[in-house]
Amino acid sequence: MGSIRWAFRCSAWTPSRSEWLLAARCIQKEEKDRIGQFMFAKDAKSAMAGRLLLRRFVCERMGIPWAEIRLERSPRGKPVLAAPLKVRSDSDESWSFNLSHQGDYTVLAAEQGVEVGVDVMKTTMPGSSSVPEFFRIMTRQFTAYEWSVIQSAGSEQKQLATFYRHWTLKESFIKAIGTGLGFNLQRIEFHLPGEPLTQNQVLRQTRMHLDEEEEENWIFEESLLDASHHVAVALGLQDTPGSAALPSSLPSPTPFTLLSFSELISSASPLTEEDPAYWESFRMKAEAPQRQRDTSTST
């Protein structure tokens, strides 16, 4: 099983004119247009990094020349490879991949032979409400057991960290199965191990219960990109007749590798002409909404 975990720190990227214009030339036109419509630079940068991460992965690990890669989306928005359908690969197992962007990072996880979903979240204090009020609004997203674990974690900061840990776990599963918003989150319940999640480790002990039964065919890899960013990767098998079981012994988990912009673009080749107006529009964007800028400085 091949395994890729890449992260790009968007918040530390202040693109120069030439970087932004080159990046825009190296992605599909409809994605360039979508990214151009974001109001804030933060969102445009994280979505751009996502497209470059995806194409770099498909080019370098699936062996498809950059210019031949055609990415589309499933009806519910999950990026999929549309062309070329026949790909060179070292193994017969097909790759699955997924992206997430939130807080300071965009991340990509890819895996061979299983479905993959990834989610990253920054532990931020809620902008306009207290922690208890924020939790009240979120009541229905977690089960009574999960709330008991979150609310007994200690200080408000620790409760929030435990909350976001559960959040990334749930989202990673939703994203692996690709259903998006339609899934009833009460059907899944996470059981964390006693061991705390610390930096520089990948925890694989968390178990998921689906409809009150422990799932054997899903594993979850949890890690911290830094002190305030949780990331969860869901790896599993869709429940289809005749599908195989997860191998009983898995290779050690792969930690996330932080890429620089030059690494992100290293295999890229331009697909479209340079568009100077695209830079003019980008440089006029504010980094983020004022409220987010205030919140990020207070954590």
Q: Is 284 in the site for ligand COA (CB under 6 A)?
A: no
Indicate which single residue of 11, 28, 141, 201 sits in contact with ligand COA (rule: CB under 6 A): 141
Q: How many CB atoms lie within 10 A of CB 292?
A: 14
Q: Is 181 in the site for ligand COA (CB under 6 A)?
A: yes
Torsion angle, CA of 295/24/230/171, rounded to 10 degrees?
Answer: 100
Stretch that binds ligand COA, among 61-69, 95-103, 195-203, 229-237 (CB under 6 A): 95-103
- Return the residue nearest ligand COA (CB atom): 77
Cα–Cα nearest to 15, from 37, 38, 48, 39 = 48
Indicate which single residue of 96, 100, 123, 159 sits in contact with ligand COA (rule: CB under 6 A): 100
Bridge partner residues of 224 (DSSP): 230
Cβ 28 to ligand COA shortest distance, Å: 11
Indicate which single residue of 45, 56, 101, 230 sits in contact with ligand COA (rule: CB under 6 A): 101
Two tokens, residue 220 = 């979850």
Stretch that binds ligand COA, among 144-152, 167-175, 238-246, 274-282 (CB under 6 A): 167-175
Cα–Cα distance for residue pair 135/32, rounded to 1 Å: 36
**Which three-class secondary structure state does DSSP give residue 215?**
coil
Cα–Cα distance for residue pair 239/29, rounded to 1 Å: 35
Strand ranges across the sheet with 229-236? 115-122, 229-236, 218-226
Contacting ligand COA within 74-93 (CB under 6 A): 76-79
Cα–Cα nearest to 113, from 213, 251, 222 = 251
Q: Output 79 or 289, the one with its CB closest to ligand COA.
A: 79
Bridge partner residues of 103 (DSSP): none
Q: How would you class 132 by CB atoms within 10 Å of its CB: exposed for 0-12, middle for 13-18, buried for 19 or more?
A: exposed
* Chain-centre distance for alpha carbon 107: 5
Stretch that binds ligand COA, among 19-27, 58-66, 97-105, 193-201 (CB under 6 A): 97-105
Indicate which single residue of 99, 116, 161, 268 sits in contact with ligand COA (rule: CB under 6 A): 99
Q: Is 232 in the site for ligand COA (CB under 6 A)?
A: no
Contact letters for ligand COA, residues 45-74 (x by CB under 6 A): --x--x------------------------
Q: Which residues bind ligand COA (CB under 6 A)?
A: 47, 50, 76-79, 98-102, 119, 141, 167, 170-171, 174-175, 178, 180-181, 185
